Amino acid sequence: MAEPLPQAWTATVLTLFPEMFPGPLGISLAGRALEAGTWRLEAVDIRGFATDRHRSVDDTPSGGGPGMVMRADVVAAAIDGAMAEGASRPLIYLSPRGAPLTQARVRELASGAGVTLLCGRFEGLDERVIEARGLEEVSLGDFVLSGGEPAALALLDAVVRLLPGVMGKEASGEDESFESGLLEYPHYTRPPSFEGREIPAVLTSGDHKKVKAWRRAMAEALTKERRPDLWEKFLKLRSKDSRQ
């Protein structure tokens, strides 16, 4: 008897704008992998779980204030419908108040069965459904978008490229920014001279040991200059590893 084929990594996106998906995920590496069945994407319209004839998904905020708030009952119904088929998948709410998305978290998601993403709109989501469904709040950074959809696209792009077979060369991601705790070193290619700027001689020396040392030094220098927060974390980790 033949063994069952492994299930593809699956993303379910709960959104008020399902037409935004797959969007850019339908082209390039992610798009080819989607077409090949390496991963699956389902965009679910939250309005389909509204109970009134106007398909209302939001209401005025309790206590007053501007804007509207997504209703707990409607969103909870959408979540329950999605989780019925993917209960083992993490449930993430894209929110500017969430924990910053890291490369480590991206790798964790890529190693699992998939993810269910909830895209907020308006002023946000009723706090009660966040608590009741145990949503993991994740942020792309200290800025506000008009909705969670662009953040969901970015998160999925980061994860899908790490799935087995998606990148043409598996090692191509090993030296990228954040993989080692450092920003990535500078890259160069032909022509050898561009507007009076030359490729660093060490990169054309043929000495792989010197190239590796130069790249490491540049990664450390760039991280220290541009991201002192990452640099401090890197130093702490290096110090901890040296003591073990």
pLDDT tier at 2 (50, 70, 90 boundaries)? very low
Rounded CA separation 69/126 (Å): 6
Amino acid at 167: M
Q: Residue 190 carries which DSSP code?
A: S
What is the reported pLDDT for 87?
76
Q: Is the pTM of this model over 0.85?
A: yes
What is the reported pLDDT for 23?
98
Which tens digit of pLDDT belongs to each residue from 11-65?
A: 999 999 999 999 999 999 999 999 999 999 999 999 999 999 999 999 999 999 9
What is the reported pLDDT for 34?
98
Which tens digit of pLDDT belongs to each residue from 132-179?
A: 999 999 999 999 999 999 999 999 999 999 999 999 765 455 666 677
**Cβ pair 183, 230 in contact under 8 A:** yes
Domains of the chain: 9-160 (3.40.1280.10), 175-243 (1.10.1270.20)
What is the reported pLDDT for 3?
46
Taking Cα atoms as reference points, which of 80, 74, 82 lies closest to residue 58? 74
